[in-house]
Amino acid sequence: MTSTADAPRSPGRPRSVRADEAIIEATLDLLAEGSTIEALSIEAIASRAGVGKATIYRRWPGKDALLLDALRRLKGILPQPAGHSVRDDLVLLVGAVGHNIDPRAAKIMPCLVPEVNRSPDHFQLYQNIIEPRRHMMREVLRRGIRIGELRADLDVEVTMALLTGPMLIQRMLRWHPELDDLILPERVVDAVLEGIRAR
């Protein structure tokens, strides 16, 4: 293959971006089709994406780094709280819990649960995915405390579990068949706020 580095760029996205996307897509397709994280190989991803293994290793140091990018893609970009009302920001973030923009997520995310429990590496991968989201919720709660809207003695970490848990069990397990996903974020936030709002 001759180098095209000096040739004028063809229109559309650069080839390297197209390869990145093909690799991410191949990873998600294989997971959605039932591959476990453990069974997933760089070889299978390369073959599915129509690239060589070296192309993958030039971009990602290994499978876990690639998985992290792929799973983050699945979850979509982080919602951005507006920063005006603590309640509105919490409703936004709680509504994003367990919400994925990609339909493959419904097949992939529940299957991560057993893997998270089996392997410390996968547990770390899971933590790497959710920590930026937890961080964002933590900041909203801290701001609420600072501006006096929330109780000063609030346990921020327990409060995050209170806000996140109901949505996650509902979206991951349909824990209660009659709870409505759409109104649940507001209901959860209002119920929790009643307990944490400064009086």
Query: Which part of the chain contacts its own copies (CB under 8 A), choosing from 16-24, 38-46, 78-86, 173-181?
Result: 173-181
Query: Cβ of residue 16: shortest distance to its own copies, in angstroms?
Result: 35
Contact indicator for 67, 23 with CB cutoff of 8 Å: no
- Least distance to its own copies, CB of residue 96, Å: 15
Interface with its own copies, residue 40, by CB under 8 A:
no
150, 196 contact by CB (below 8 A): yes
- The kind and range of the H/E element at 179 are none
User: At residue 95, what are phi and psi to the nearest 5 degrees?
Assistant: -65, -25
Which one of the spans 12-20, 47-55, 68-76, 175-183 is the region binding its own copies (CB under 8 A)?
175-183
One residue of 65, 101, 191, 198 binding its own copies per CB under 8 A: 191
Instruction: Please provide residue 2's backbone torsions phi and psi, each rounded to the nearest 5 degrees.
Output: -85, 150
**To the nearest whole angstrom, how small is the minimum distance from the Cβ of residue 27 to its own copies?**
18
Written as one string, the DSSP assignment of 96-131 is HTT--SSTTHHHHHHHHHHHHHH-HHHHHHHHHHHH
Residue (of 44, 39, 3) closest to 23 by Cα position: 44
Q: Show the site string, 130-149: x = touches its own copies by CB under 8 A, - = not.
A: x---x---------------
10 Å CB burial of residue 188 (0-12, 13-18, 19+) is: buried
**Binding to its own copies (CB under 8 A): which residues in 83-122?**
106-107, 110-111, 113-114, 116-117
Q: Does 189 participate in binding its own copies (rule CB under 8 A)?
A: no
Q: Are 45 and 17 in contact (CB under 8 A)?
A: no
Q: What are phi and psi of 82, to 5 degrees?
A: -75, -25
Determine the interface stretch with its own copies among 18-26, 53-61, 77-85, 155-163 (rule: CB under 8 A).
155-163
User: Shortest Cβ distance from residue 171 to its own copies (Å)?
Assistant: 10
14 binds its own copies (CB under 8 A): no
Please report, as ranges, the residues that interact with its own copies according to CB under 8 A: 106-107, 110-111, 113-114, 116-117, 123, 126-127, 130, 134, 155, 157-162, 164-170, 172-179, 184, 187-188, 191-196
